[in-house]
Amino acid sequence: MYTELFEKLRSNYGIVFKNISLLEEAFTHSSYANEHLRPRNNERLEFLGDAILQFLISRYIFMKYPEIPEGKLSSLRSLIVREDSLAQFARECHFDRYILLGKGEEISGGRKRPSLLCDLFEAFIGALEQDQGLEQVKKFIDKMMIPKINSRHFLKDKDFKTSLQEKLQKEGNVSIEYRLTKEEGLAHERTFYMSIYFKGKKIGDGVGKSKKQAEQKAAEVALLKMKGKVK
């Protein structure tokens, strides 16, 4: 399995790891490490990779968009380095094929879980920095992530909660309440059901794998209802 991963990294990104154990650590989930009595999993590298991504992306958009104020830069960064975005980058790199999972995690669909894939992508970044330095990480990000930033892909990304708030505020001061109506599923694979109430009336429902995702979906539905696109 790792032979195929090494070749993909070399051919697609020009990356050849010097310390193979770092790459193995990045692709070892805690569930696999526990089952196979391995001393290390990818959580420490994930911690490092998260900080590196925050810094490099912050620096890039700071230079790229001199006209955007601090608040909107923070919002843009959060769209780029959020769970769903990093999970998608992991899929595009085919990292999901190579993560080592415990049997229970594999059976429960961990290989497709956004939170797990986000952590994996961050762990890879951490491993790459430790193996080859920050400049190599920057080269990888330039190839993998920057084209989407330059295409304004993330600027088009909808923050439905903010859009709903702004739309309703045109009527004056508003009070929007998000209520968690139900949650179900296993502890590591929960599904959340959220409803939005405006002036005591329910205006939208949403479902998601996190509370934030369910809130965004409910806000999207509420906006579509206002436009008459859904009943």
CA distances from 39 to 32, 36, 43, 197 (A): 11, 9, 12, 49
Q: Is 177 exposed, middle or buried (0-12, 13-18, 19+ CB in 10 A)?
A: exposed
- Whether 231 maps to a domain, the answer reads no
pLDDT at residue number 91: 95
Question: At which of 93, 118, 150 does a domain end?
Answer: 150
Both 103 and 213 in a single domain?
no
Question: At which of 132, 150, 168 does a domain end?
Answer: 150
Both 82 and 165 in a single domain?
no
Contact 127, 26 (CB under 8 A): yes
Domain total in the chain: 2
- Report d(CA 119, CA 126) in Å as an integer: 10
Range of the domain at 111: 2-150
Both 120 and 89 in a single domain?
yes
The pair of three-digit structure tokens given for residue 112, joined into one six-digit string = 């497709």
CATH at residue 168: 3.30.160.20
- Whether 214 maps to a domain, the answer reads yes
Question: At which of 111, 126, 150 does a domain end?
Answer: 150
- Whether 79 maps to a domain, the answer reads yes
**Intervals of the chain under pLDDT 70:** 1, 155-159, 171-173, 229-231
pLDDT at residue number 158: 55
- Whether 199 maps to a domain, the answer reads yes
Both 109 and 34 in a single domain?
yes
- Report d(CA 231, CA 225) in Å as an integer: 6
Both 81 and 138 in a single domain?
yes
pLDDT at residue number 156: 58
CATH at residue 89: 1.10.1520.10
- Whether 133 maps to a domain, the answer reads yes
Contact 164, 176 (CB under 8 A): yes
Both 30 and 129 in a single domain?
yes
- Whether 155 maps to a domain, the answer reads no
DSSP 8-class letter at 42: S
Both 166 and 126 in a single domain?
no
The pair of three-digit structure tokens given for residue 107, joined into one six-digit string = 């059976």
Both 122 and 182 in a single domain?
no
CA distances from 17 to 105, 128, 157 (A): 27, 8, 34
- Report d(CA 77, CA 98) in Å as an integer: 28
Both 115 and 42 in a single domain?
yes
- Sheet architecture: strand order including 191-198: 176-184, 191-198, 201-208
Both 77 and 171 in a single domain?
no
CA–CA–CA angle 208, 209, 214 (5° rounding): 30
- Whether 121 maps to a domain, the answer reads yes
Both 136 and 201 in a single domain?
no
Q: What are the catalytic residues?
A: 50, 122
pLDDT at residue number 173: 61
Tens of pLDDT, residue by residue over 72-95, are 888 788 888 988 889 999 999 999
pLDDT at residue number 137: 98
Both 100 and 7 in a single domain?
yes
- Residue 93 neighbours by CB under 8 Å, 6+ apart: 8, 12, 121, 124, 144
- Report d(CA 64, CA 135) in Å as an integer: 18
- Whether 94 maps to a domain, the answer reads yes
